[in-house]
């Protein structure tokens, strides 16, 4: 079998992963082996490669959280999810948990003490083949290709968890979406619109601003050309937004706190620009703010998202935005391209 994968043997700069040939293993009971057709990059690919201080990883590891392909082999006695079969086309739910602890049994798999994300806590999708628990497979919506399917799970799961399950977004509420040109930001804009909210996107340049308008943003602020918090106050008659969708971290935190309304919420899932922030506690209690941390999401949410898409697969209410497609052999270059931050939406590698 002509199989290869990329490995992080030791931490280094983006693109420093090493290609190696390997012999794919047979899946154990409860697991399947996929022949991947596409994988999508996330910032976690970069952090896995570069390393995260205070978070040792099980090196060597194959990065890559997202992927889609065909079911190549099924472990003995393994039951498959609905509409999934041997040889069928599937996409991957990227979070793995033990399945038997109290958190898993009530559906909060991302709160499991053994929770890990593919491509970080275990081998991922920067590979021609990957082993995955059968419970992590979902059928691909009709009319979607493998590239779209690979780009869907992580960012839409993360955004849905933040907006619906954690922040409980209500129709008519205003939402400031940082990094509107990112994978999770472009997902959030679409979901806010789908849920009846009013998205205000923040981006780094005019090209990305145009694309955010096309996705349904009510307003777009180009970072660096306007004071974000002041512009938000102008757009909301000095009230501020009901919710801030935050994932960029230190560089945007002060503006996020200034832009949110009294009684508003800030939900965050990342720290791309840095993890250390300051907070005046008087602002916290005087404005009666709610801060919400979020990481990945309940696997069941992917089935909810899939149901919304499958109601109208030819014109779904939301879809992944693809920026650029590389060949898997170009995965190191794809990492460097993602790190440069000039694209809009998801970076994908076709296998």
The full 3-state SS of 76-122, as one line of letters, equals: CCCCCCCCCCCCCEEEECCEECCCCCHHHHCCCHHHCCCCEEECCCE
Confidence of residue 271 (pLDDT cuts 50, 70, 90): confident
The CATH class given to the 157-293 domain equals: alpha beta
pLDDT at 280: 87
pTM of the model: 0.96
* 89-129 pLDDT per residue, tens: 999 999 999 999 999 999 999 999 999 999 999 999 999 99
* Residue 302 predicted with pLDDT over 90: yes
Provide the CATH number for the domain formed by 4-152+320-350 in this structure: 3.90.180.10
- Residue 259: the pLDDT is 96
Fold identical between 4-152+320-350 and 157-293? yes
Query: What pLDDT was estimated at residue 270?
Result: 87
Tokens of 182: 């990112």
pLDDT digits (tens, 9 = 90+) for 232-249: 999 999 999 999 999 988
Look-up of token digits 């009971």: 29
Mean pLDDT, the chain, as a whole number?
A: 95
The pLDDT value recorded for residue 181 is: 94
Question: Would you kindly state where each structural domain of the chain is located, as residue ranges?
Answer: 4-152+320-350, 157-293
Average pLDDT over residues 178-207: 96
Q: What's the pLDDT score for residue 321?
A: 97
Residue 64 CA to residue 196 CA, distance in Å, equals 33
202 torsion bin: left (phi>0), alpha (psi -120 to 50), beta (else): beta
Q: Which residues contact 237 (CB under 8 A, 6 or more apart)?
A: none
């Amino acid at each position: 079998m002509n199989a290869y994968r990329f490995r992080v043997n030791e931490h280094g700069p983006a693109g420093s992963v090493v290609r190696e040939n390997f012999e794919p293993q047979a899946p154990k009971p409860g697991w399947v082996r996929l022949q991947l057709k596409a994988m999508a990059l996330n910032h976690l690919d970069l952090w896995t490669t570069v390393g995260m201080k205070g978070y040792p990883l099980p090196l060597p590891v194959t990065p890559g959280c997202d992927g889609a392909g065909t079911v190549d082999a099924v472990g003995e006695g393994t039951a498959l999810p609905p509409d999934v079969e041997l040889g069928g086309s599937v996409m991957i739910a990227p979070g793995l948990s033990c399945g038997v602890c109290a958190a898993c049994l009530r559906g909060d798999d991302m709160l499991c003490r053994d929770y890990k994300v593919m491509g970080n806590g275990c081998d991922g999708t920067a590979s021609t083949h990957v082993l995955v628990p059968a419970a992590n497979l979902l059928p691909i919506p009709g009319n979607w290709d493998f590239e779209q399917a690979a780009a869907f799970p992580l960012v839409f799961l993360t955004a849905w968890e933040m907006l619906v399950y954690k922040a409980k977004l209500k129709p008519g509420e205003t939402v400031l979406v940082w990094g509107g040109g990112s994978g999770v930001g472009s997902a959030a804009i679409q979901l806010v619109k789908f849920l009846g909210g009013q998205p205000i996107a923040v981006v780094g340049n005019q090209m990305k601003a145009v694309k955010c308008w096309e996705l349904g943003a009510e307003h777009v602020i180009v970072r660096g050309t306007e004071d974000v918090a002041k512009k938000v106050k102008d757009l909301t008659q000095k009230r501020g937004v009901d919710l801030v969708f935050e994932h960029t971290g230190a560089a945007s935190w002060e503006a996020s706190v200034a832009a949110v309304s009294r009684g508003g919420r800030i939900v965050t899932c990342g720290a791309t620009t840095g993890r250390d922030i300051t907070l005046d506690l008087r602002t916290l209690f005087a404005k009666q703010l709610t801060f919400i941390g979020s990481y990945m999401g309940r696997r069941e949410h992917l089935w909810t998202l899939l149901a919304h898409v499958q109601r109208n697969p030819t014109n779904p209410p939301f879809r992944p935005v693809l920026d650029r497609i590389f060949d898997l052999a170009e995965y190191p270059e794809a990492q460097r391209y993602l790190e440069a931050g000039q694209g809009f939406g998801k970076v994908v590698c076709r296998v």
